[in-house]
A and B are shown apart, each in its own frame.
Chain A
Amino acid sequence: MQNSWRFLIIHLTLLLALLLNVMPLPAAVKLFRPDWPLLVLCYWVLALPNRTSIGTAFVLGFLVDVMVGTVLGVNAFGYSLICFIVAANHLKIRNFSVLQQSLLFGLLLALYHLVVFWFSHFLTGVYFRAAYLWPVATGMIVWPYLFWFLRRTRRQFKIQ
């Protein structure tokens, strides 16, 4: 199998995550939607930090900005920051159990949401509601399954 073809899988999963992020959902569950692109990105940075790094995070964050309609650059900022933290500590985080990882990613997701909220507050004057943090909880719940799924994909396609 061609090597470059394998890396298309990484981009394919990121694209899929973007689609999940804008897929229409009923209003009742929309607030609980996890941040799919960020979680998938975190997995790839954790597994292959020499393939996906801050450049990928920036572009992905920018795409999220365009699709979601936040001020351009806000999500790019948050994604780059989280990606940096994960990439700088990837050797440590890899040794954690999946549950510990999920707790840690909860913290990182909260940081990301706080950064985005902070920018939005200064730029457009939104007020904080505790409901904005639901994606943190759902992200933590989803992480073990996502981790398992993406690791299987990675091993199946032998992406290194």
Chain B
Amino acid sequence: MKPLLDRGPSLPLRLFFALLASVGLITLDHYTNSSVQLRGYLTATVSPLFYLANLPQDMVFGASEQFMSQQKLLEENRTLKDTLLLQNGQLQRFQFLQQENDKLRALLGASPVTEGKRLIAEVLAVYSHPFSHQIVLNKGSRDGVIVGQPLIDDLGVLGQVVSVGPSSSRALLIADNTHAMSARVERTGQSVVAEGIGQSDSLRLIHLPHSTDISEGDRLLTSGLDGVFPEGYPVAKVVRVHRDARQPFLQVTAEPYAKLDRIRYALLVWPHQGISSADPQIVEELKQAEQGQD
């Protein structure tokens, strides 16, 4: 057998260089801003691996769809049609309400809430390493994804995009320890900061004084104050309020509505651009009304 390490530096020296390089990387990644771009490139480079790792799951799902019986398909089709009918019915009412809301907002002189573009993204990898709750999506800068973009699903807010490659992107979930967002208690309008604690089923509400009116079962919605998440999406439900006079603040725990540990599809939301257009028709009507008053 060949002697160990017959060429190159000795083993402890190699270790020294490797550890030095690691610490250098940690410093670069954690304490400077250049890492966002670097991570973008790296994510793009390894994205084929994610597609590859996803292959077995896709095949299993594909096979189960292939062998689904016709009976089952028909049944599923019927339920889907029913849901569609129900939701379309609600949507009619919603459109009417939105129009009314826009008119009222225009009367108040406030900018109307506009709906931005949306895009459905498939999740390539949910990596909940206990220390980092992130997902990789199959949409990237080619589809117009940008850093800081909010991500929702049918139940609530999921997180935001943190690095973008050409055909894939990485998003930080709201349960990650490094993530905090602004929210509002639906019942009282109290604004709170919801911070992730590294567990997919709980968030912590921080810096709430003891006098705050908050109770178990309260719904938390996004407040729009953080400039990332649009206003009004459901975030979490308060599950535990612990009043301990020895602690400086209330200890409140909330459970996210979205099932953060089993995401398969996510909806990318483009925030509305600035104080964009009120419906021109409404503005016209208002002007006429004002002129009428004069």
Contacts and interface: CB of A to CB of B under 8 A. Distances in A.
Interface of A: 15, 18-20, 22-24, 26-27, 30-31, 49-50, 53-55, 57-58, 61-63, 65-74, 76-77, 80-81, 84, 87-88, 90, 116-117, 119-120, 123-127, 129, 131-132
A84 B5 CA distance: 13
B132 A55 contact: no
Contact of A18 (B49, B57, B262): B49
Contacts of B129: 68-70
Contacts of B209: none
B177 A126 contact: yes
A50 B4 contact: yes
B125 interface: yes
Given A55-B14, A66-B42, A88-B11, A73 B29 contact: yes
Nearest to B259: A27
B53 A23 contact: yes
Given A54-B18, A76-B18, A124 B178 contact: yes
A17 to B, nearest CB: 11
Contacts of B178: 124
Given A53-B11, A67-B46, A131-B130, A80 B22 contact: yes
A55 B14 CA distance: 8
Given A54-B14, A73-B23, A24 B29 contact: no
For the residues of A in contact with B, the DSSP-based class is helix
A23 B14 contact: no
Contact of B127 (A50, A68, A87, A90): A68
Contacts of B56: 23
Contacts of A27: 200, 261-262
Interface of B: 2-6, 11-12, 14-15, 17-19, 21-26, 28-30, 35, 38-39, 42-43, 45-46, 49-50, 52-54, 56-57, 123, 125-132, 134, 170, 177-178, 197-198, 200, 261-262
B15 A84 contact: yes
A98 to B, nearest CB: 21
A19 B127 CA distance: 12
B128 A72 contact: no
A87 B11 contact: yes
Given A27-B261, A30-B261, A73 B130 contact: no
Given A73-B24, A76-B22, A124-B177, A53 B5 contact: yes
A16 B263 CA distance: 24
Contacts of A19: 49, 52-53
A58 B22 contact: yes
A58 B26 contact: no
B22 A22 contact: no
A61 to B, nearest CB: 8
B53 A77 contact: no
B167 to A, nearest CB: 16
B18 A22 contact: no
A131 B198 CA distance: 12
A121 to B, nearest CB: 9
Contacts of B12: 84
Contacts of B52: 19
Given A22-B50, A124-B178, A69 B14 contact: no
Contacts of B50: 22, 67
Nearest to B132: A69
Contacts of A72: 25-26, 28-29, 35, 38-39
A19 to B, nearest CB: 4
Contacts of A30: 128, 261
Given A70-B131, A76-B21, A50 B5 contact: yes
Nearest to B54: A24
Contacts of A120: 131-132
